[in-house]
Structure 1
Amino acid sequence: MAEIAVVAISVAKPGCDEQLRVTLEGIVGPTRNEAGVLQYDLHRDVQEPRRFVFVERWESQEALAAHAKSAHIQAYRKAVADWVEHAEIRVVSKIA
């Protein structure tokens, strides 16, 4: 198994940052209970508070794929569709 990391960024539309924050915080607990999760931490950008950043580590690509299909992530995606201005997900592997 090759460990992978994810940096997931969501930028809230103006006026939607608190709704997005609460919803993002709500998926932390269920995700931390998933098989294969090593780290799942939510951050808020100090200079741009509408920007939220997840720093994640997973045991494998398969564990990440299962996470993406989980019920709480599917529900999250539907809930925030109108609140997110921009989203970006980068899957990376550690090289040093």
Structure 2
Amino acid sequence: MGDGMSNALLVILTARLKPGEFERLAPSVPYFVDASRNEPGCLSFDFYRSITDGDVVTTMERWDGPMATIAHLCAIHTRSFMSLLQDCVAQPFTFTTVPDTTRPGGSYAPASDWRATKRSSQWMV
């Protein structure tokens, strides 16, 4: 956009898994993350597992606008992963979408920096 503002969205998904279900989910994570990162409109995509509670996983995603986010949600790899995730969760997961204010001068840390500064989580992929 000409005014320096962006339509980018920050999407955060957090899920509490049933005990032991991370081992079931883990083999799918590298493919899901790689396929998501290669989608048009993906600005960043990171998957985390809490180091203080191994049953909590989070994605931090940045998308170049609502259309890219919707396309991601409709992608076969996303639908497949979300179906598996749904089977693994102990309770409904949270899904938060907010305007990405990392550029210019926003208050959120970009996902690439969050990885290094967030001590309660471990970067998975």
TM-score by length of 2: 0.70
1:23 counterpart residue number: 28
- Give the direction of change, closer, same or farther, for the CA distance of 1:55–1:16 in structure 2 (3 Å limit): same
2:95 counterpart residue number: 89
For 1:19, what is the secondary structure of its paired residue?
helix
- Partners in 2 of 1:10 and 1:25 — Cα distance? 17
1:79 counterpart residue number: 84
Q: Is the 8 A contact 1:12 1:20 kept in 2?
A: no
- Give the direction of change, closer, same or farther, for the CA distance of 1:23–1:11 in structure 2 (3 Å limit): farther
- Partners in 1 of 2:59 and 2:80 — Cα distance? 17
1:6 pairs, out of 6, 11, 18, with: 11
- Partners in 1 of 2:58 and 2:83 — Cα distance? 19
The structure that is strand-richer by fraction is: 1
- Give the direction of change, closer, same or farther, for the CA distance of 1:68–1:55 in structure 2 (3 Å limit): same
Letter in 1 for 2:100: K
Letter in 2 for 1:92: V
Structure 1 unpaired stretches of 5+: none
Q: CA deviation at 1:12?
A: 1.1
- Partners in 1 of 2:87 and 2:69 — Cα distance? 25
Higher RCO (CA-CA < 8 Å; seq separation 6+): 1
Q: Is the 8 A contact 1:35 1:63 kept in 2?
A: yes
For 1:39, what is the secondary structure of its paired residue?
strand
2:60 counterpart residue number: 55
TM-score by length of 1: 0.89
Letter in 2 for 1:93: P
Q: CA deviation at 1:21?
A: 2.4
The structure with the largest alpha-carbon Rg is: 2
Count of matched residue pairs:
96
